[in-house]
Amino acid sequence: PNDVLSLLKVLWFEDSKQVIDEFLPSLYSDRNDFGINPKTQREYFPASPHQTPIYWLLTFTFSDTVSFIIDFINETSEIYFNTNTDRDIKKIEVVIQGNSYVQISSSTLWNSYRGNSDVPYVFASILMALEKYLLDTFEETHLKVFEDNLLIILKQSKSVAVSAVVA
């Protein structure tokens, strides 16, 4: 499973040497504001919990896969924050158990796990897989363990995209 996660990171992140045509609107080019490899844009349509191997990886190695999800969403959300001119996007303070955490927030990120937001399909599919896994395993997981896992996810997330799934 860890080899698969390493491979996904290589496949899904945009090559930093790639030249992006800034003169074409994003609708007509492969440019995206998340730093995700443009070739993956069409490979994960439509967004769904089963479009990527993430759901199945969660069943085999939950901790490693959650770390991958959080790292991926944090990094791509930061790129989105730095490249987007949307007035809706901002950094907010979230207080969890008396400690403050900063998360990138926008309606686009908050709604992305529902598939009704303008995010890359792979981004939405990863979040949908996390949601499905959490819903599928809730009843069979000891409540304290489940709550602890949710708190870890919330504390490590730097994007409301992940927080929306947990909420």
- Whether the CB-CB separation of 159 and 103 falls below 8 Å is answered with yes
State the chain's mean pLDDT as an integer.
85
At residue 11 the predicted structure's pLDDT band, cuts being 50, 70 and 90, is confident
pTM of the predicted model, to two decimals? 0.86
- The pLDDT of 96-112, averaged and rounded, is 94
| Single-letter amino acid code for the residue at 92 | I
Radius of gyration of the chain (CA): 16
Question: What pLDDT does residue 3 have?
Answer: 87
Q: Looking at the predicted structure, is the pLDDT value of residue 19 above 60?
A: no
Those residues with Cβ within 8 angstroms of residue 104's Cβ, 6 or more apart along the chain or in another chain: 77, 78, 80, 81, 89, 90, 91, 92, 158, 159, 160
Q: Which of 41-45, 90-94, 97-101 has the lowest mean pLDDT?
A: 41-45
- Please give the average per-residue pLDDT across 12-23, as a whole number: 52
- Summarised one tens digit per residue, pLDDT across range 140-167 is 888 888 999 999 999 999 999 999 999 8
Mean predicted confidence (pLDDT) in 24-46: 67
* Confidence band for 15, pLDDT divided at 50, 70 and 90: low
